[in-house]
Amino acid sequence: MPPDGGQLQGLRVVDLTQPLGQYCGRLLADLGADVVKVEPLVGDEARRMAPFTADKPPRSLFFDNYNTNKRSLAVDATATDGRTVLERLLRRADVWIETSDLADGGAARALDLPALRAECPEAVLVSLRGFGADGPYADYRPASLVLFAMSGLMHNVGPPHGPPVAAPGQLAYDLAAVDAASGTLMALLARRKTGRGQRVEVNVLEVLGMQLGPITSSPAHVSSRRGNRHAEIAPSGVYECSDGAVEIGVVMPTQWAGLKELLGHPPELEGAWDEREYRRQHADELADFVAARLRPEKRMELVERAQRARLPCLPVNTVADVAGDPHLNARGFFRSTDHLGLSYPRMPGAPFHYGVGGWALRRPAPDLGQHSREILAADLDYSGTEIDRLLHDGIVFAGLARRAQAGARVS
């Protein structure tokens, strides 16, 4: 195995997810798995989702984010010959991933995956669902916002008198996709011992539900929104400075001592304030006091001083701050896209840095059907004549350059 092949080199994955849940296949592809993204002839709906580049034609950055390092096969799963192509692809793969309960559930809707899996005992079928196949919400329509709202993680986030605010983007699905990727790897580890694959099901509501932790016994417990001050830890949360904001948190006695040191040991904070429970009960008074002291500060100077006093204090950064962040850049977190031929210069890397066989940007997110021809020929052993017929009949789409040549049409 070459040292840059990635932890998962040799793993063959068919990614039937769309338009959400695609982070699962991305995680596998980033570590070297061969992930074939199956798309309808009109392309994954994610290709038409904002934001876009200024390229002509524009590229969806939403699509790029979730599909870098994957290959694309565009095939009509509603046609018999299209399903045959997909079945041949699935039979030779280790892992199948699908999100068929979404509004646009993709090719998995047209296939009987459980029946096919019965014929492929080594395959791992990964189903990413909103709610799960049983229980009162089994027939509910899923969406990231809906699942986040139901999870209990949203009601206490937001302005005190305004609406609760959900996590941005598709974060609920992305969190679940990480567990789906871990479930995939666990099933593969189990297969090493048993020789058999299995079905893995991960439900977004339960992934979010893990954060409930110990179940509270009191039904009277009501959460309330407190802006950016957290209810249980005082002082904590976001504090404005003269040129931005910082977030601090005081949990341990050393951290409380650090805060007092940072503020120059103000006499107002002596006595009962040293008790965590007293601070919690008088959280607003304390927060107002701390806020007034921190407001004139410059945020990075404050962070440096606070850290010297062993107080957990970090700046509240924008996306632009993160892109220019000296720490992340010194770590080499952002990767150049020079070798990918994209109009934007950098992409985020991954949080895990392996000594050997790691994460890499191997290929850009594919154009629609970019790899259809090579997959049919090299992976599925279709002859040139058969491939031409599939293209001509509009069963498979092999990219724009190929379309003119083969005369295929997009339905």
Partner 1 sequence: MTGLPLDGVRVVSFSTAFAGPTTSRYLADYGAEVIKVESLRRSDNTRNSPDSRREPSGVATSPQFQHFNRNKRDIAIDLSQERGRELMRALVQRTDVVTENFSGRVMNNWGMDYQSLRQVRPDIIVLDMQGMGQTGPWKDFISFGNNLHSYAALTSIWGYSHSSIADYMSAQHAVFAVLAALLRRNLTGAGTHIEFGQVEVIPAMLGTFMLDYFANGTVTRDVGNHSPIYAPHGCYACQGADEWCVVAVTSDAEWQRLCTVIDRPDWLADARLAAGPGRVRHSANLDAGVQAWTRQRRAHDVEEVLQAAGVPAAAVRTRAEMDHDAHLRARGFITSIEHPVLGEREHVGLSINFSESAGRTAGHAPLLGQDNEYVFGELLGLTTREIDDLAAQGVLT
> Where in 15-34 is the site for partner 1 (CB under 8 A)?
23, 27, 31
Distance, CA of 169 to CA of 383 (rounded, Å): 43
3-class secondary-structure state, position 56: coil
410 binds partner 1 (CB under 8 A): no
Question: Distance between CA 227 and CA 204 in Å, rounded?
Answer: 26
Taking a C-beta distance cutoff of 8 angstroms, is the pair 102, 172 a contact? no
Residue 135, burial from CB neighbour count under 10 angstroms (0-12, 13-18, 19+):
exposed
Q: Per CB under 8 A, does 78 bind partner 1?
A: no
Which of 12, 118, 6 lies closest to 378 in space, CA to CA?
Answer: 12
Q: DSSP class of residue 385?
A: H
In whole angstroms, the minimum distance from the beta carbon of 35 to partner 1 comes to: 14
Judged by CB under 8 A, the chain residues 224 through 253 that form the site for partner 1 are: 224, 227-228, 230, 232, 236-238, 245-249, 251-252
State which of positions 376-405 bind partner 1 (CB under 8 A).
none
Dihedral sign (CA 55, 58, 64, 67): negative
Stretch that binds partner 1, among 260-268, 354-362, 378-386, 391-399 (CB under 8 A): 354-362
Nearer to partner 1, 85 or 176 (CB): 176
Q: Out of 341, 351, 385, 404, which residue is the one contacting partner 1 (CB under 8 A)?
A: 351
123 binds partner 1 (CB under 8 A): no
45 vs 373 by CB, closer to partner 1: 45
Q: Do the bridges between strand 12-15 and strand 34-39 make them parallel or antiparallel, or are there none, so unpaired?
A: parallel
Q: Is 115 in the site for partner 1 (CB under 8 A)?
A: no
- Cβ neighbours of residue 296 under 8 Å, at least 6 residues apart? 241, 242
Cα(200)–Cα(142) distance, rounded to whole angstroms?
Answer: 19
Q: Which residue has the tokens 């919400």?
A: 137
Q: Which of 2, 56, 57, 189 binds partner 1 (CB under 8 A)?
A: 189
Tokens 């790897």 found at: 185
Of 315-323, 368-376, 379-387, 403-411, the segment contacting partner 1 by CB under 8 A is: 315-323
Q: CB under 8 A: which stretch of 82-90, 218-226, 267-275, 286-294 binds partner 1?
A: 218-226
Q: Closer to partner 1 at the Cβ: 31 or 380?
A: 31
Nearer to partner 1 by C-beta: 81 or 104? 104
Decide if residue 109 touches partner 1 (CB under 8 A): no
Closer CB to partner 1, 142 or 369, in the complex: 142
* Number of Cβ atoms within 10 Å of the Cβ of 351: 7
21 CA to centre of own chain: 8
Mask 260-279, x = binds partner 1 (CB under 8 A)? Answer: -----------------x--
Q: Does 340 bind partner 1 (CB under 8 A)?
A: no
Figure out which of the listed residues 57, 330, 341, 404 binds partner 1, where binding follows CB under 8 A. 330
Instruction: Specify the DSSP element, H or E, that contains 184.
Output: helix 171-194
Is 56 near partner 1 (CB under 8 A)?
Answer: no
